[in-house]
Amino acid sequence: EQRKRLTIAVELVAKPSVLFLDEPTSGLDSRAALKVGNALRRVADTGCSVLCTIHQPSKEVFYCFDSLLLLQRGGKTVYFGDLGENSSVMTSYFVSNGAEPMQAEANPADYMLDQICAGVSANREAAQDWAEIWNNSPENKALIDALEGPDGRPRIVPEDAEHIHFDKKFARNFWTQLRVNIKRQMNVYWRTPEYNYARILSALVQALILGFSYFQVELDQNGANLLVAATFMAGLTALMSINNAVATVINGRVAFYRETSAGFYTPGAYYTPLLVTDQPFNLASQLLYSVTLYFLIGFKASGYGYFLLSVVLYGTWAISTGAMFGAISPTIDIGLILVPLMNAVLNLLAGFLITRNEIPPWYIWIYWINPTAYFMVGNMKNTLTGTEFFCTADEYLEFTYPGATDSSYEFPSCESIPAMQQYTTNPSNSTECVFCPITSGDQ
């Protein structure tokens, strides 16, 4: 009952000229139904026309209405006009056309349904064709005459009616709409703290799992590969948060449709607050995530600022993308199917699982618009540039010194061969040169 009254109040905020309701008392007990009926009566008394369908109301609720359009099976009109005090006008119409008089304490709604054999009396045949009686009645003729204009066609709007004119489409400007929606979304977060508690806890758990999986990576050749993998894995947490945004947007979409159709605000004034109000919680979760993950892995401390900025922006993109899928998906289930499909494509074509040079030409455009690729490349440059790597004894690569078989070779030793890596002579075999493949993150 309270939710129905609140829904009515929400519609009244826009000050409508006509308020339409579909069975507002259905599902309520008699006491709650009467409260809703009295609320509608007060709305009508303010000058707002209230049109609603009603199903077998109680006598007290029925007395709240001024006029009635009664239809029988097949959509045929049986009565259309004023009810009168205690429904006296309506009951007099039925009695004057051959119906039995209504008992003193009877419910007028039950009485009229019983006469036309509807409701609980639907299994028996009516004694008269009430639709035909209405079509030939003087009440129907008077109604048609009252609606006809000078040219003989029905006049929907009387000539003396005050014309309704609005200077602009919305009652408030965009900034007011934005401010109110931001405040409302903050209240939603305040009333449902479990959503943000869960995302912050999830960020911490994922950071601990990834951090200890790549804990204090050694700067040897294997460590160089692990740091690249850790950079790629660092972005997966944001991708997982897209699902949360999908469900949140779809659950709030009913209110969005109702309020935008009523002219409360523009779509931009609704979706922008979703992103704005999410930023404090996004920042909190990403700050906790980045501090835990970054220093557990052992990235250089000077690059943490860039890493924090990148995960916050990447998280913002993830929430925005989740809102997009929430807006276009008809149901939560379909949205949660589309998101993993997109994530799979973005991860596959981010340049890690398949290097950029090996991506087929018909897919390369996805790489250039892929936020995951930019996140990974940016953080690789940030964390690896200037980092020095070394080789363990079994990580050195070797090749035969060309001068050992060619006396005319221009470089007299392995050390003199110009190359990106420094070549040295193998101490155990002077005919072989050895080198460390990766010595700097700049490579």
120 pLDDT band, cuts 50/70/90, is: low
User: Quick one: average pLDDT of 152-171?
Assistant: 69
The pTM (predicted TM-score) of the whole model is 0.68
What pLDDT sits at residue 308?
A: 92
User: Quick one: average pLDDT of 167-179?
Assistant: 86
Helix (H) or strand (E) holding 426: strand 424-426
The answer to whether 293 touches 205, Cβ cutoff 8 Å, is no
Closest CA to 228 of 370, 394, 377, 344: 377
420 pLDDT band, cuts 50/70/90, is: low
Whether residue 142 has pLDDT greater than 80: yes
289 pLDDT band, cuts 50/70/90, is: very high
Helix (H, G, I), strand (E, B) or coil at 68: strand
Cβ neighbors of 289 (< 8 A, separation 6 or more) are: 203, 204, 206, 207, 237, 311
Closest CA to 318 of 274, 366, 270, 257: 274
Sign of CA dihedral 153, 158, 160, 161: negative
353 pLDDT band, cuts 50/70/90, is: confident
Let me know the angle formed at the C-alpha of 281 by 270 and 330, rounded to the nearest 5 degrees. 45
Whether residue 183 has pLDDT greater than 90: yes
Choice between 120 and 137, residue whose per-residue pLDDT is larger: 137
Whether residue 302 has pLDDT greater than 90: no
User: Quick one: average pLDDT of 344-362?
Assistant: 89
Enumerate the β-bridge partners of residue 81: 68
Tokens 């523009």 belong to which residue? 266
As a dihedral over the C-alpha atoms of residue 379, residue 383, residue 389, residue 395, rounded to 10 degrees, the angle is: -30
Closest CA to 83 of 98, 102, 69, 100: 69
125 pLDDT band, cuts 50/70/90, is: low
What pLDDT sits at residue 108?
A: 87
How far apart are the C-alpha atoms of 135 and 148, rounded to whole Å? 16
Q: What 8-state DSSP symbol labels residue 122?
A: T
Cβ neighbors of 137 (< 8 A, separation 6 or more) are: 93, 97
172 pLDDT band, cuts 50/70/90, is: confident
Choice among 42-46, 225-229, 410-414 with the minimum mean pLDDT: 410-414
374 pLDDT band, cuts 50/70/90, is: very high
